Amino acid sequence: MSTLRAASVGWARPPLMQPPVSKSVAPPPAAGESRAWVEALRASGPAHDEAVRRLHALLLRAARFEVTRRRASLAYVRGEELEDIAMQAADDALVAVLRKLEDFRGASRFTTWAYKFALLEAGVRLRRRAWQEREVVLDSESWTRLGGSTSSPEVHAERSELLRSLSECIGERLTPHQRQVLVALTIDGVPIDVLAERLSTTRGALYKTLHDARQKLRAALADKGVPVEAM
């Protein structure tokens, strides 16, 4: 078909498709910001010092936020002491962030990742302060009263049996140290940070002891034929 004829019947040759132009995709702003933080903190000289200063200011804001959030439970603590707690939490968080800088994988903003360190440090210090003047009974026998407190008629019989069996197993199957840790953390409500300080140990060691104690109790209750789904 000639060009003239093609035009006369309304048909035209389609234009040739151009290959797509490859364009580099810019990283999202948050990723670029996070990378800038990490690079500055890894640097040396004035750039590093300025990044550390900015990071400490961020962590101090986070620590102050956590102190303010929990202030109602520490109404008896003076404002100057709470500010000192926030400052110490920010200092410790700064050290932790710099030590774990290689662990940052970019799953969130760097500032969000770092912020959590300050919240954690402030929370630990505030819990310790709240328990500073409270006695921690490390050899509490509150576990012996588990079964006895379930005699009211509204308490289900199966729960009563479980608690009595649990009390027996705590006394018979656990080592003194396992019993001490389990009772303090799960029955007496002692914060793990406070207990770690009083026992001169670490949170990790206490978690391990608590895990082992629970495993023993599950096995002991299973031997007695008691359901252990709630353990």
- Domain final residue, candidates 130, 151, 169: 130
Last residue of a domain, one of 102, 130, 158: 130
Q: How many residues does the chain have?
A: 231
pLDDT of residue 143: 56
CATH number at residue 84: 1.10.1740
Q: Are residues 150 and 217 in the same domain?
A: yes
41 with 63, same domain: the answer is yes
Per-10-residue mean pLDDT, the chain, length 231: 45 51 52 90 93 96 94 85 94 96 91 96 89 68 55 58 79 90 87 88 93 90 71 51
Give the pLDDT confidence score for residue 93 in this predicted structure: 96
Assigned domain for 122 exists: yes
Please report the pLDDT score of residue 157 as a whole number: 64
User: Does the residue 13 lie in any domain?
Assistant: no
Q: Which domain holds residue 210?
A: 142-223
The reply to whether 192 falls in a domain is: yes
Cβ partners under 8 Å of residue 84, min gap 6: none
Whole-number pLDDT of residue 75: 82
Do 151 and 182 have their domain in common?
yes
Closest CA to 126 of 152, 92, 97: 92
User: Does one domain contain both 50 and 116?
Assistant: yes
* Same domain, residue pair 122 and 150: no
Q: Are residues 121 and 209 in the same domain?
A: no
Last residue of a domain, one of 130, 152, 172: 130
Assess if residue 136 is contained within a domain. Answer: no
